[in-house]
Structure 1
């Protein structure tokens, strides 16, 4: 004979009375949560920093004088050497050593040192005492900011300076070819400086600064072009002639920890 133990324990009947509907409600809520809300990419994933991590770039460099180019080829390596003391706001700071070599068979020689600070709202680099804002978070297509926010005696005024860097192709795939090999990335964002100069509005000078970052990797492609199209002292500008300047592209060919 099967006994009804709830007759001996009234509290058990009370618990069952409210527990049943609660279980049904929980099941209903769980059934509604079949889709995960995808939050916007906050941004630091495009520039991961960890002690020991390195990136090697193939560099194609051309300098111009009186419209005559001189080309060279070499490699850069950027390696996170150490984590330094946090900055005044408590954000982590890293020391990055940039080395150079002419060919893969040569030894690395230190070229320069910079520091990278990863904050909640931005990522900054400091070279030769000058701190620039390289990325702002979250990464949003079309966002703009001023890279020289910290390069002014009055920071409050600097925050209102005209933006000179822009996000383009956020979250898009990117490919670049170098030396017969193609490097492809599924999720990237590109920063571009000075859209007017990039679009050729200034006929006396060209300045293009472009960097593409890949999620989980960091900078994978950099372009730096600065030209003067004016013959010194002449007052005449010809955008087809590069009187003085430099063009450099860096393609990431290897990375690791």
Structure 2
């Protein structure tokens, strides 16, 4: 008890300046505690950045098959974020991306199509040819699954047909003697166990690089030759294979 009274008396004898310093120190400590915030979990939205004027140029190899005979064409696509449209009904931003095409690097660009990209809650969607697909879901993480056709009528809302693989992994690809590599990527793939068999083949694969966007796309759809004996998947009766490799980007 005597020690308590002695401490109280000692504090009361302090000059006003000491009290002010004590109060400021205490207040600063409290403020510091109040300003501490938990770090926001990484959603991975920078795997598809959307900045007005930004563009990406792809080298495209397109092969069409008819009775197992391939016809190969090669050209370039440029995708450029052209306009930020009015927010949709949910208040989410919507962007118009102009896709242009040219055969040679010296040719002028000609508009090929328009893509509408929107971030809706935890999903990033693309609308091409009046069909909206879910290209990414957030947060981006290994093994996550979703329905790419959740916003169109191709599948029921409960179908799982898209997967994340290779989260935050490096990626490299060579095209035209040039090697392109990225430190952090994520790849989306379709369900090959469901979409590849003796009668038909469907492969949909896209690799996104952090801070850049899509850097590699593959689309393969084939129908095999089938007869009374069975189907021969090595014989492409009809179909198409297209690969797109990012060769330049900027603003």
Contact 1:150 1:158 in 2 (8 A): no
**Mapped partners of 2:229, 2:48: distance in 1:** 43
Q: Structure 1: any 5+ residue segments left out of the alignment?
A: 1-5
**Mapped partners of 1:185, 1:88: distance in 2:** 36
- Aligned CA RMSD, in angstroms, stands at 3.0
- Structure 1 runs, 4 residues or longer, greater than 3 Å off: 6-20, 22-26, 37-40
**Mapped partners of 1:88, 1:224: distance in 2:** 32
Taking a change above 3 Å as real, the CA distance of residues 24 and 219 of structure 1, as seen in their structure-2 partners, is: closer
1:215 corresponds in structure 2 to: 210
Deviation at residue 11 of structure 1 after TM alignment? 3.9
Alignment of 1:239 onto 2:233: yes
Alignment of 1:192 onto 2:186: no
Taking a change above 3 Å as real, the CA distance of residues 8 and 221 of structure 1, as seen in their structure-2 partners, is: same
Q: After superposing the two structures, state which structure 1 stretch, 143-152 or 169-178, moved more.
A: 143-152
Contact 1:205 1:230 in 2 (8 A): no
Aligned residues, how many?
238
Deviation at residue 136 of structure 1 after TM alignment? 0.3
1:3 corresponds in structure 2 to: none
**Mapped partners of 1:120, 1:98: distance in 2:** 25
**Mapped partners of 1:246, 1:124: distance in 2:** 24
Taking a change above 3 Å as real, the CA distance of residues 89 and 220 of structure 1, as seen in their structure-2 partners, is: same
SS of match in other structure, 2:46: helix
2:225 corresponds in structure 1 to: 230
Q: Decide which structure has greater strand share.
A: 2
Deviation at residue 50 of structure 1 after TM alignment? 1.2
Cα deviation, 1:178-204, whole Å, max 9, x if unaligned, reads 000100000100000123156x4x111
Contact 2:64 2:70 in 1 (8 A): yes
Deviation at residue 12 of structure 1 after TM alignment? 4.0
Deviation at residue 107 of structure 1 after TM alignment? 1.0
Q: TM-score, normalised by structure 2?
A: 0.85
Alignment of 1:44 onto 2:45: yes
Alignment of 1:204 onto 2:212: no
Contact 1:194 1:207 in 2 (8 A): no
Counterpart pick for 1:251 among 241, 245, 250: 245
